[in-house]
Each structure stands twice: as structure tokens, then as C-alpha cells.
Structure 1
Amino acid sequence: MTKPDKITDKVRLQDAQALAQGYSPAIRAMEIASIVSFVALEGVLAYKLWSTHHTGPWMLTLAVVLGYLAADFVSGFVHWMGDTWGSTEMPVLGKAFIRPFREHHVDEKAITRHDFVETNGNNCLVSLPVAALAVAVPLNGPGWVFLAAFLGAMIFWVMATNQFHKWSHLDAPPAIIHFLQRVHLILPPDHHRIHHTAPFNQYYCITVGWMNRPLRMIHFFPLMERLITFVTGQLPRQDDIGTEAAQALVAVDDATEVPVLQAAKELLKASTEESAPSVSSRSSP
């Protein structure tokens, strides 16, 4: 079996300067328009929620907390997709979405040099469909109000994810930000540093990071990768870390059983061992 340190030795890093140059004026204009549209939709939603009588503080608090957890999962899923699949050479998606993920692996501090637009524009763009859906939800009952509030909270935290992510890479964040990181209410630097260990294949959730350990325990992302590779034949992380390292990593993942499967095999083995004596005693003369 290939050891993790051997995989790290095989990792091929891309050129940081070439990746940074992929941020074009057209992409920036798209990000500015996305931020303006996102703020407008969230403002309309907040006004609608404020105006309805089918609401209360506990309902809104629950919607905000569940939205935070959902945003953490969404951030991990999108991060995993951007890190693992596709190429920076793909039309539109390659330059606008995949490029920032690949740049971040070779230049972690690049995000700290990005202004508000470059930091948050992409997340606003991907949040627009959900924002429009939340505004369209009819607020004619508590259930619908909760759904609209949950969707609005989730995409607000999704929008804030890259800002939290940026703060986790600052050498000296503001005092209030450092406190929130220390009590793990936003993404802490030490927690996120686990992801930045080549080959960059774990701890993808970057809103707050609460979902990283549960998803790792159930091997969520390796199982998704096996499924996609089985269906498409594509090799995960090939464009990001190179073919040799990607193949070695797949070999390690294939040799590692999911804990649920390990437990099931142990239970089956124990059950077989317990039933064996009784079977042999009935068969003896």
C-alpha cells in the first residue's frame, strides 16, 4: 500500500502566478453583479419575514442554526467538487470557479490579498437561485415561513463562508474574529490547516468546520469519489495534484474499508462463530 507521505512526494503543484492571472475583468464584473443581486434578494426576504405574523424568535433561531449547519455541509460539498473534479481549462467554469480552488492550494495567502468582491463574489453567484427560491416561498403558514427563513439563513452563511475562510488564513485577525475562531464559532486556523496538508483530500467544510469529523467518520467524500469514478471513469484530483499522486491516492482509498462495513463484517464474523458450535453439536451422533 502507498503511504501518505509517499503520496505527498508525488504531488505536482500548479503555477500560482498563472492561476492568479485567470481572474479577468469579465469575471470581476460578474461577481459585482452577483453581490448586488444577492444583497437585494436577501433584503426582500428579510422584509417579507419581518412583515408576516407566522413567525417567532424560536422559529427564526432554529432556522439560523440549522442553516449554519447546512451551509457548512454545502461549503464542504462545493469545496470538494472544486478541489476534486474538472480542470482550470474548462470553459467558463474552469476560470470562474475551479481556478480559485487550485490557486488556493499553491498559494494559501492569496485569499488574504483578495478584496471583498473577489473574496465573496463567487459565493453570491452560486447562492442566487436559492435566494430567489426563498423569496418566492409563500409565507402563508408557519411551515412555509420556517422554510423561507432556513433557506435565507443557509445562503447567508454560504455567502459568508469565504470571508470566514479568508480570516482563517490571516496572520493577525481582528480581536473579535480571533475570539470567534478560538471558541470555534467560525472556521479556526488550526482546524482548517488539516485540509492544507497535501494531497488536500480531507476537511473540506469551511464555514465553521463542524461537519468535517462526522463526514470523515462515514467516509462520505471517498464514497462519493468511488461512485463518480465508477460511473464516469474520471480520476479524482488528477488536474490538481497530477496523475501519479491521484492514482496513488485512489489506491489507498480503495484499500481502506468504510468503518460501517468493517463493523458489519465483525458482527457477521462473530455471529458465525457463535452459531458454529451449536451446528456441530447437532450434527454429531
Structure 2
Amino acid sequence: MKKPDTIADKVRLQDAQTLAQGYSPAIRAMEIASIIAFVGLEAALVYKLWSTHHTGPWLLTLAVVLGYLAADFVSGLVHWMGDTWGSTEMPVLGKAFIRPFREHHVDEKAITRHDFVETNGNNCLVSLPVAALAVAVPLNGPGWVFLAAFLGAMIFWVMATNQFHKWSHLDEPPALIGFLQRVHLILPPDHHRVHHTAPFNQYYCITVGWMNRPLRMIHFFPLMERLITWATGQLPRQDDIGTEAAKALVAVDDAQELPVLQAAKELLKASAEEPAPSVSTRPVP
């Protein structure tokens, strides 16, 4: 008896070698420049924070912790965008940003062979505008200091995300890294393995992974996908896993709506089916 097809059976991934060859000298030069600029901006921010009298240990600690949570969410949002939309053939973005996501699904161990520049360059590049904004914030009071520290902490953790991600794929991470993974202070391998089950449509957050369960509970990413498909007509993950699997996954997501959405649809349907109130034709005296 033939086993029924699953969505994982329909997944059609791209060639790993072809994707790896997309890492060009121009992209590497851009990543090196991004790392240098990022380090310079973060150093300037630390100097500004150190020089102001509005800082305090509790304020800075809160900024670092909230920045960590924000970075985890941002990592999931960017990861979802890179996995779900666009094509490796897009100008600039295709080779520099989308290609690494596609390669990682085909060869998840490739990241363990990347050096520091290839691992972290992209994240430094996308963090530069926020880094510049953090440095530009006027430190005229505790609120402004908190904002600058929060932004600086968030992009520091965003920069570190791919390093944490790389460590989660190592067969034998260093002892300290393994301990941090076991206590779930950085991304644990078992937690991240959920994402690497085809069709790669869950657990996108890869800084620490704390935000994965809450976002899954509220169906955050499926709802975003429906909104974008409604607005653009684009099919999620079509370039990554193939048209057949992408269509099958959309059908499954449509069948798994949040109860509140199902209830809202039923109310709208019932409202539409209610007969219109009769209008009296009796003349007014």
C-alpha cells in the first residue's frame, strides 16, 4: 500500500552547490565594510552612554534584556521574510540576503563552515541604520538614554544572532556554549531543529527562541502570509520549496485558523444571512 503524500514529500529544494557559489567577492567586501562600520557605531554609542550622568545599572539592565527579546522577534521576522518571500534571482537582495536562507535549508551544516565575516556580515549590514539612529539619539534624560541603550542592545543581539545560530548547528560546541544552550540562554539545537523539518514554516526566531511559542500560539506568521498573499497575489515559499508544496501548505494553513477568526467569520456569515427588516408601507397620518 502506497504511503499518502505529505507536504514534506512535495518539497523540492534547490541545488546546494549552486547556492554556495552565489557568495561572491563583492558580497564579502560589502560584509567586511559592514562589520567595520557596525563596530565603530556601537563603540561610539557605548562612549556616549558612558559619558552621560543619566545612566544607571537598572535602566541599562532593563534595556539589555528587552533588547534581547526584541532581537529574538526581529530575527524571526527577518528569517521568515528570507525563507518565505522573494527569489535568489532578485537583483542585489537575491544573492546577498535570500540565497543564504535557501542554502541553509539545503545544507544546514554549511553555516558551520562559514568564517566570522560570512556568518555575521549580513546582520551587521542590516543593523547599520538602527545603529546610526541609536548614536544620533540625544541623551537629554533617562528616557532618551533608555531608548539609545535599548536600540544599541537590540542590534548587538541581532548581530550575534547568526553566531548563536551557527553554534546551534555544531556537533560539539565549546563547553561554555553548550551550557548556555542547555539552560536556553542562547539558541538550543533541539529547539532549533523544529524549524529544520520540511517545509520549514515554524520556529523562525533564532537569537534565543523564546518568542517562537508565543508567536505560534497567535498564528502570527500564517496571518502575515495571508495578508501579503491577499495584497500581492504572491505564494509563500514558492521559490524555496516549489509550487506544489507551497500550495499544499497554504491549504493546510487555511484549515488551521485561530478560533477567534473562525468565530468572526461565522458571525459575519450569520449577519449576511439575516433577512432585512420589513419596511412599513402604511401611510403616515
Structure 1 length-normalised TM = 0.91
| Change beyond 3 A, Cα 1:4–1:34 | farther
- 195-204 or 275-284, which moves further after superposition? 275-284
Q: CA deviation at 1:272?
A: 17
Range moving further from structure 2, 15-24 or 247-256: 247-256
Q: CA deviation at 1:189?
A: 0.2
The Cα offsets for residues 117-141 of structure 1, whole Å up to 9 and x where unpaired, read as 0000000000000000000000010
Structure 1 residues 276, 69: CA separation in 2 closer, same or farther (over 3 Å shift)? farther
Pair 5,177 (structure 1): closer, same or farther in 2 beyond 3 Å: farther
Q: Displacement of 1:276 after TM fit?
A: 20
Separation in structure 1 between the aligned mates of residue 203 and residue 282 of structure 2, nearest angstrom: 53
Query: Corresponding residue for 1:192?
Result: 192
Deviation, 1:2, is 16
Q: CA deviation at 1:279?
A: 23
CA-atom RMSD, angstroms?
4.6
Cα distance between partner residues in 2 of 1:191 and 1:166 = 14
Deviations 1:25-47 (A, max 9, x none): 00000000000000000000000
Deviations 1:220-268 (A, max 9, x none): 0000000000000000000000000000000111111114335768999
In structure 2, the partner of 1:98 is 98
1:142 Cα offset (Å)? 0.4
**3-state SS, counterpart of residue 236 of structure 1:** coil
1: CA distance, partners of 2:185 / 2:263: 33
Q: Which of 137-146 and 267-276 deviates more?
A: 267-276
- CA deviation after TM superposition for structure 1 residue 13, in Å: 1.0
Deviates more, 1:163-172 or 1:254-263: 254-263
Q: Cα gap change, 1:284/1:262 in structure 2, threshold over 3 Å: closer, same or farther?
A: farther
Aligned CA distance change for structure 1 residues 280 and 5 (closer, same or farther; 3 Å)? farther
Aligned partners of 1:5 and 1:167: how far apart in 2? 34
Q: Take 2:95 and 2:112, find their aligned partners in 1: how far apart are those partners?
A: 19
1:178–1:281 distance in 2 versus 1, CA, 3 Å: farther
Structure 2: runs of 5 or more not aligned: none
Correspondence for 2:220: 220
The 3 A distance-change label for structure 1 pair 238 and 3 is farther
C-alpha spacing 1:36/1:6, structure 2 compared with 1 (3 Å): same
Which residue number in structure 1 is paired with residue 115 of structure 2?
Answer: 115
- Superposed counterparts of 1:38-117, under 5 Å: 38-117=38-117
Asked whether the equivalents of residues 137 and 144 of structure 1 are also in contact (C-alpha less than 8 Å), the reply is yes
Structure 1 contact 195–201 (Cα < 8 Å) conserved: yes
Normalising by structure 2, we get a TM-score of 0.91
CA gap 1:4/1:61 in 2 versus in 1, 3 angstroms? farther
Alpha-carbon displacement from aligned partner over 1:78-128 (angstroms, at most 9, x marks no partner): 000000000000000000000000000000000000000000000000000
1:3 CA displacement:
12
Note the alpha carbon deviations across 1:50-85, whole angstroms, 9 max, x for none.
000001000000000000000000000000000000
User: Would the alpha carbon gap of residues 244 and 268 (structure 1) be closer, same or farther in structure 2, given more than 3 Å must change?
Assistant: closer
SS of the counterpart of 2:112?
Answer: helix
Q: Do the aligned partners of residues 90 and 61 (structure 1) sit closer, same or farther apart at CA in structure 2, a change above 3 Å counting?
A: same
How far does residue 275 in structure 1 lie from its aligned partner after superposition?
Answer: 19
Please tell me whether the aligned partners of residues 2 and 248 of structure 1 are also in contact (alpha carbons under 8 angstroms). Answer: no
Cα deviation, 1:184-213, whole Å, max 9, x if unaligned, reads 000000000000000000000000000000
Q: What's the % identity of the aligned pairs?
A: 91
For residues 284 and 237 of structure 1, do their structure 2 counterparts lie closer, same or farther at Cα, with a shift above 3 Å needed?
farther
* Distance 1:276-1:138 versus aligned 2 partners, 3 A rule: same
User: In the TM superposition, what whole-angstrom CA distance separates every residue of 1:119-166 from its partner, at most 9, and x where no partner exists?
Assistant: 000000000000000000000100000000000000000000000000
How far off its partner does 1:4 sit?
Answer: 10
Runs of 4+ in structure 1 over 2 Å off: 1-5, 259-285
Give the stretch that moved more between structures: 248-257 or 112-121: 248-257
Q: Which runs of 5+ in 1 are unaligned?
A: none
The aligned length equals 285
